[in-house]
Amino acid sequence: MIKFPDNFLWGAAASAPQTEGHALLNGKSHTTWDRWIELNPEKFNAGQGPKDTSNVYELYEADIKRMVEIGMNSYRTSISWARLLPDGKTLNKEAVAFYRDYFEKMNQAGIKPIINLFHFDMPWWLMEKGGWETRESVDAFAFYAKTAFEEFGDLVDEWATFNEPLVHIECGYLYGFHYPAIVDFKKAIQVGYHTLMAHFLAVKAYRETKQKGRIGIILNVTPTYARSEEAIDQKAKQNADLLIIKSFLDPCVLGTIPTELVDLVNEHKLTPITKTGDKEIIKDYPVDFIGINYYQPMRVQAPENPRTPAVTTSDLFAPYDWPEKRMNPYRGWEIYPEALYDVSLMMKNDYNNIPWYVSENGMGVAEEERFMNDKGIIEDDYRIEFMEDHLEQLHKGIEAGSNCFGYHTWTFVDCWSWLNGYRNRYGFYRVDLENNLERTLKKSGLWYKELSQNNGFEIGER
Ligand code: BGP
């Protein structure tokens, strides 16, 4: 039997844009997602957009009961910036009432809310001005963060500023999966820098408004694995570590942007515009904890024909396709639980053993109705196996002294996923799109209940 530390957080994560629905109702203004589907519906799987998400706006009370039913003691979701402050300045009273009731009901049910401020959902009014490309976005975000702390700080003890900031940077400015879907490395770095400063000004606002809880950031990082020990592959690893791992972890935890990263960015003529005083803010406002979303490892090799200055990240490090990899074929992601042990050690050894938790881990599978038994329950043993394998590695990391305080899965109820719509399902509860968004428990939900009740599980039982 492996046992996790006392008071371990067992729960799941989601986000406002992926669950709330009511995307253009109740005073909410457009985000980039709401606008993008109007402009380019063909980009979205089955034309499914944020309007079609699982209607938590109306169903949250019943959903909270479902959380309790499967033994969750915590839940992360986000506030929608465009709902709380539709024009960036004016408070939407209806949104305040909605979120207050949502968070209050969670607390009453013994579900600790962990509330995140930004999950890829840039308000359209700000995007029209350049979004994270402009410094204005940093101040606008700080105002939003301060408003959220003031409105909900009495109900929420755990806050996060951003979910996976690298994703809106890479997917929006390098890889084409998020609006504005352009390829511009220099803009990507500027967007990254402004995101980082927005994070810091939010933490500053948190400290200045003297909140009672903790604030952190959710990052998708793991150690990088290089193809070989050869110098060229190691150089690629070093570049990836700087851009993907250390770019946020170092300033957020250690209070500095690594000099090697500054040199790399300067060498490739990607230097962002900064402001006097930024360095001091970075030094003065470290986070209290880190959330780590982990799905797949990052494997790299030396790029074949790198350009200088680099035009995109593949000029600095190329993806490496490890021949021995195990795959989740639906999502196209490698399954490598061992990385959770490595990340535990990385947090312990390189980041002062700061408190951290697994803020997302899970397995997206398409057409899950194939696995439905005659009682209508989806027998998702693959998901249970996936999570047990990861938990075993995490447990090893905790035994080695890493300061991990919880494990959240992605996700609780099947949810909408950006361009992929409802193709891949991740939930402990199935959502029936044809039948009023009805939720049905999957086998993994029952397993999770047992896991959290026992605060552990029997290895090799299955
Ligand atoms: C993470 C995001 C989530 C979620 C998840 C699953 O990167 O934080 O928003 O979507 O990945 O990935 P996907 O939905 O792309 O299958």
Q: Which atom of ligand 1 is nearest to the CA of 120?
A: 9
Contact assessment for residue 75 and residue 11, using Cβ atoms and an 8 Å cutoff: yes
User: How far separated are the first and last CA of the chain, in Å rounded?
Assistant: 13
Pocket test of ligand 1: the residue of 360, 365, 408 to mutate, having most ligand atoms within 8 Å of its CB, is: 360
Q: Which of 163, 415, 417, 431 to mutate to test the pocket of ligand 1 (most atoms within 8 A of CB)?
A: 417
Q: How far is the CA of 98 from the centre of ligand 1 (A)?
A: 25
User: How would you write the chain as a 3-class SS string?
Assistant: CEECCCCCEEEEECCHHHHCCCCCCCCCCCEHHHHHHHHCHHHCHHHCCHHHCCCHHHHHHHHHHHHHHCCCCEEEEECCHHHHCCCCCCCCHHHHHHHHHHHHHHHHCCCEEEEEEECCCCEHHHHCCCHHHCCHHHHHHHHHHHHHHHHHCCCCCEEEEEECHHHHHHHHHCCCCCCCCCCCHHHHHHHHHHHHHHHHHHHHHHHHCCCCCEEEEEECCCCEEECCCCHHHHHHHHHHHHHHHHHHHHHHHHCCCCHHHHHHHHHCCCCCCCCCCHHHHHHHCCCCEEEEECCCCEEEECCCCCCCCCCCHHHCCEECCCCCCEEECCCCEEECCHHHHHHHHHHHHHCCCCCEEEEECCCCEECHHHHECCCCCECCHHHHHHHHHHHHHHHHHHHCCCCEEEEEECCCECCCCHHHCCCEECCCEEEECCCCCEEEECHHHHHHHHHHHHCEECCCCC
pTM of whole model > 0.85? Answer: yes
Query: In this structure, which residue's CA is closest to atom 14 in ligand 1?
Result: 417
- Cα(462)–Cα(450) distance, integer angstroms: 14
CA 417 – ligand 1 centroid, Å:
6
Rounded distance between C-alpha atoms, residue 418 and residue 18, angstroms: 8
Q: What is the predicted pLDDT for the residue at 52?
A: 83
Distance CA 408, CA 427 (A): 12
- Report CA(13)–ligand 1 centroid distance (Å): 10
Protein residue with its CA nearest to atom 5 in ligand 1: 410
Q: How many CB atoms neighbour CB 165 within 10 A?
A: 25
Ligand 1 centre distance from Cα of residue 275 (Å): 33
Please tell me the predicted confidence (pLDDT) of residue 461. 64
Q: How far is CA 200 from CA 216, 252, 330, in A?
A: 10, 8, 37
**pLDDT at residue 462 in the model:** 61
Return the ligand 1 atom nearest residue 331 CA: 16
User: Could you tell me which of 288, 392, 287, 406 has the C-alpha nearest to residue 358?
Assistant: 406
In this prediction, residue 350 carries a pLDDT of 98
By annotation, the residues acting in catalysis are 164, 360
- Hey, what are 314's tokens? 């593949």
Q: Are 98 and 30 in contact (CB under 8 A)?
A: no
Residue pair 56/100 in contact (Cβ under 8 Å)? The answer is no
For a pocket test of ligand 1, which of 45, 409, 410, 422 has the largest count of ligand atoms closer than 8 A to its C-beta? Answer: 410
Q: Are strands 289-293 and 456-457 parallel, antiparallel or unpaired?
A: unpaired
List, for residues 422-444, the tens digit of each pLDDT value. 999 999 999 999 999 999 999 99
Amino acid at 448: Y
Q: Which of 377, 190, 186, 170 is nearest to 273 (CA)?
A: 190
User: What is the CA(207)–ligand 1 centre distance, in A?
Assistant: 30
Measured in angstroms, how far is the CA atom of residue 59 from the centroid of ligand 1?
Answer: 22
**The pLDDT of residue 92:** 98
Domains of the chain: 2-457 (3.20.20.80)
Task: Give the separation between CA 105 and CA 142, rounded to whole angstroms.
Answer: 27
Q: Which atom of ligand 1 is nearest to the CA of 218?
A: 8
Q: What contacts 111, CB < 8 A, 6 or more positions away?
A: 11, 64, 67, 68, 72, 73, 74, 75
Query: Which of 442, 420, 437 is closest to 371 using CA atoms?
Result: 442
Cβ atoms of residues 409 and 360 within 8 Å: yes
**Position in ligand 1 atom list of the atom nearest CA 18:** 9
Residue ranges lining ligand 1, Cβ < 6 Å: 15, 18, 163-164, 167, 220, 293, 331, 360, 364, 410, 417-418, 420, 424
Ligand 1: which residue has its CA nearest to atom 13?
A: 417
Mean pLDDT by 10 residues, the chain (462 residues): 97 98 98 98 96 95 98 98 98 98 98 99 98 98 98 98 98 97 98 99 98 98 95 98 98 98 98 98 98 98 97 97 97 97 98 98 98 97 98 98 98 98 98 97 98 95 62
Nearest CA residue ID for atom 7, ligand 1: 164
Q: What is the pLDDT of residue 217?
A: 99
CA of 220 to the centre of ligand 1 (A): 10
Atom of ligand 1 nearest to the CA of 424: 16
Ligand 1 mutation target, pool 418, 420, 431, most atoms within 8 A of CB? 418
Nearest CA to ligand 1 atom 12: 417
Which ligand 1 atom is at minimum distance from the Cα of 167? 7
How remote is the CA of residue 281 from the centroid of ligand 1, in Å?
30
Neighbours of 52 (CB within 10 A): 18
